[in-house]
Amino acid sequence: MNTAANFYFNSDNARVRSAIRRLTLVNFRNYRYLRLNLDKPFIVLSGENGSGKTNVLEAVSFLSQGRGLRSAKLSEIKTFDFLANTQDAPVFINNNGWAVSAQLDSFGEEFTIGTAVESSLKEIAYNETKEVERRIVHVNNQKLSSQNDLGNFLSIIWVTPQMDRIFQGGSQNRRSFLDRIVYAFDVEHAKRLSTFDNLYRQWLQILKSGTLNNIWLDTLEEQIAGIGVAIAAARREQVIRLNTFIETNPDDTFPDALLELDGTIEKMVAEKPAVYVEDFYRESLFNQRRSILYNDAGAGINKTDLKAVYKKKNVPANLCSTGEQKSLLLNIILAQAKSLIASKNIYPILLLDEITAHLDEVKRDAFFAKIRNLNVQSWLTSTTMFDFTGIKNDTQFFEVKDNTITPIAF
């Protein structure tokens, strides 16, 4: 068996997984052109802060649906005004954009997946246009109808330093965190969220315009309620799934988390038929028509919060120490990966930015052992390679410096 084949099987040759074999970036952040050839389960990017390590992880994250791990605007990503002079650039990139392309091996089959920016003119008024950018995606050089279809080919999970305090502050980040987890199990979830946001935005605009179109409001409220209940049901199902994997895999190294949804619609979905909940949601929206004008929005799925408790101590996550919060987060991430593998036979790619922060040596080594046992490809960043001594035999090391990335021995 050749080296590549060995990479994609575990020690007993029982299961294969998905991994990036080659990554190509063009005009992406600080990289005019970059190509990495990969042959290990752990990929470590080491370099000083600001050297461009996270930019590589962000590029990989764009191989999934959404706006990447930084939630960046497309216009923020391109740094250079012209393409690198190379014949190896993805064929679908135009002369004004950036592109990310990867050769993947998934369950023994190789395919190419890529994304780039496409510019077009949009009419915004009579005889007036503006240039708009949108992301396009390709698989084997065939254009997909929507970036949401990427979820059918690849699942990517990431952890960034900004997520270390995810249990603090407002609910928006936790809600987005949960929705990304749902995407991996239900590719239609992203479409439902996008549709919900558009409908809700129209509803608000009508209310705030001062000219109430009751017929149109009735129509919007019916659609919002129907899609909203479907979103709530998907979130609830995902939380149950995560709790199941956390509970059935007890761990003394990482604190066991108990997750619950704090949302009126999600709680009702657990107890009432969907039709009843839709009627309640629609009536609730109707009753908000006046109060919304005074910024007194009622409950809805756009107000839902994801709560976590350190189960053994019975302490809310937001009251735990920084280290405990990081460990709770990692336990949730591990549960997500395990549930994907067990229930859908999907082996996600992990992007772990500065993951060793707030982890002592014992927890760090335990975490690496756990992700090694998952048989998934993991991309990690750090300012030092010495955090990864325990996994160096399974790791491909790269030094990030002066806008270049160089393989190094360790």
Burial category of 76 from C-beta neighbours within 10 Å (exposed 0-12, middle 13-18, buried 19 and up): exposed
φ and ψ at 170, to 5 degrees?
-70, 170
pTM of this structure: 0.88
Matching residue, tokens 């992007």:
351
CA–CA separation, 311 vs 319, rounded Å?
Answer: 13
Is the pLDDT at 128 greater than 90? The verdict is no
Output the pLDDT for position 289.
83
Kindly tell me if the per-residue pLDDT of 79 is higher than 70: no
Bridge partners for 306 per DSSP:
261
Between these two residues, 317 and 247, which has the higher pLDDT value?
A: 317
Residue 252's pLDDT band, with cuts at 50, 70 and 90, is low
261: pLDDT confidence band, cut at 50, 70 and 90? very high
Closest CA to 398 of 19, 21, 38: 38
pLDDT score of 181: 95
How confident is the model at residue 210, as a pLDDT? 76
Beta partners for residue 111, in sequence order: 104
**pLDDT confidence of residue 53:** 96
- Residue 174 has what DSSP assignment? H
Q: What is the pLDDT of residue 134?
A: 82
Output the DSSP codes for 107-130.
TTEEEEEEEEEEEEEEEEETTEEE
Q: What is the mean pLDDT of residues 208-233?
A: 92
What is residue 320's predicted lDDT score, i.e. its pLDDT?
94
d(CA 245, CA 315): 20
348-371: pLDDT as tens digits? 999 999 999 888 898 899 999 999
Higher-pLDDT residue of 314, 83: 314
Helix (H) or strand (E) holding 18: strand 18-28
91-98: average pLDDT:
58
**d(C-alpha 280, C-alpha 96), whole Å:** 49
Q: Has residue 394 got a pLDDT over 80? A: yes
Between 45 and 144, the more confident residue is: 45
Residue 45 structure tokens: 């990017």
Confidence of residue 254 (pLDDT cuts 50, 70, 90): confident
Per-chain mean pLDDT for the chain? 86
User: Cα–Cα–Cα angle for 160, 188, 267, nearest 5°?
Assistant: 80
**To the nearest whole percent, how much of the chain has pLDDT over 70?**
86
What is residue 13's predicted lDDT score, i.e. its pLDDT? 35
Residue 206 one-letter amino acid: I
* pLDDT at 117 > cutoff 50: yes
pLDDT at 233 over 50: yes
Distance separating the N- and C-terminal Cα atoms of the chain: 26
| Per-residue confidence (pLDDT) for residue 226, from 0 to 100 | 97
Whether 154 shows a pLDDT value over 70: the answer reads yes
Among 29-33, 87-91, 171-175, 211-215, the range scoring the smallest mean pLDDT is: 87-91
Q: For residue 40, what are the CA distances in angstroms to 10, 15, 35, 319?
A: 12, 16, 16, 38
In this prediction, residue 207 carries a pLDDT of 87
Across residues 235-264, what is the average pLDDT?
86
- Residue written as token pair 């007890």: 250
Closest of 222, 172, 179, 182 to residue 199, by C-alpha? 222
Domains assigned to the chain: 1-155+347-410 (3.40.50.300), 167-345 (1.20.1050.90)
Using the predicted structure, report yes or no on whether residue 9 has a pLDDT greater than 70: no
The pLDDT value recorded for residue 7 is 44
Report the interhelical angle of 214-247 vs 274-291 (nearest 10°): 120
pLDDT-derived band at 124 (thresholds 50, 70, 90) equals low
Of 364, 257, 362, residue with least CA distance to 318: 257
121 vs 187, which has greater pLDDT? Answer: 187
Does 8 have pLDDT greater than 80?
no
Residue pLDDT, tens place only, 31-64 = 999 999 999 999 999 999 999 999 999 999 999 9
Mean pLDDT, rounded, for 310-320? 93
Report whether pLDDT(397) > 60: yes
Query: pLDDT higher for 253 or 231?
Result: 231
